[in-house]
Amino acid sequence: MSETEKIVLNVQQEMKRGTLVLAVLTQTDEAQYGYSLIQALTEMGMPIEQNTLYPLMRRLEKQGLLDSIWQVEENRPRRYYKISELGRDVRAVLIEEWQTLEATMSGLIGGVK
């Protein structure tokens, strides 16, 4: 891996990390379990490692942005996550933030030759 690739990869990861919470909040209007959410995000062009997403979902649940419920399916338990009221409020603000950021970044990038 060249030096450029390394740096790009690193920054890329940082960028992605910042968007993950919002990404998860957009895909949990329907209850999702961990693996189904990975698939949903991957289909939308945002592949994510299991070891990144699962702890994140748990964290969001602890913060009260997601509600969770254990359900027994096919004789084994599965934890389903769904966006909470608080989650919706936070999401609305985050979307606005994102749009502002998007406009700002477009402006900045537009100035680069």
Partner 1 sequence: MINDYLYTIGKYISPAQRDEVLREIESNLYDYLEQNFGQKKYSESEIETAIRSMGHPKKVAEAYMEGPRCLIGPAYIDTYWLVLKIALIGIAIGLTIANIITLPESKDGIQLLIKIIASIWQASLSAVGTVTLIFALIQHYSPGEQEKITGAWSFKVIENAPEAHQKINFLEIILESIFICFFLVAINQATPALVIALRKTK
Q: Which residues bind to partner 1, rule: CB under 8 A?
A: 33-36, 39, 49-52, 54-55, 58-59, 74, 76-79
The nearer residue to partner 1, 45 or 70, going by C-beta atoms, is: 70
Q: How far is the CB of 54 from partner 1 (least distance, A)?
A: 6
Given the complex with partner 1, which of 46 and 54 has the nearer CB atom?
54
Minimum gap (Å) between residue 29 Cβ and partner 1? 20
Q: Which residues neighbour 23 within 8 Å (Cβ) at sequence distance 6 or greater?
A: 41, 46
Residue 66, C-beta contacts closer than 8 angstroms, at least 6 positions apart: 24, 28, 57, 60, 81, 82, 83, 84, 87
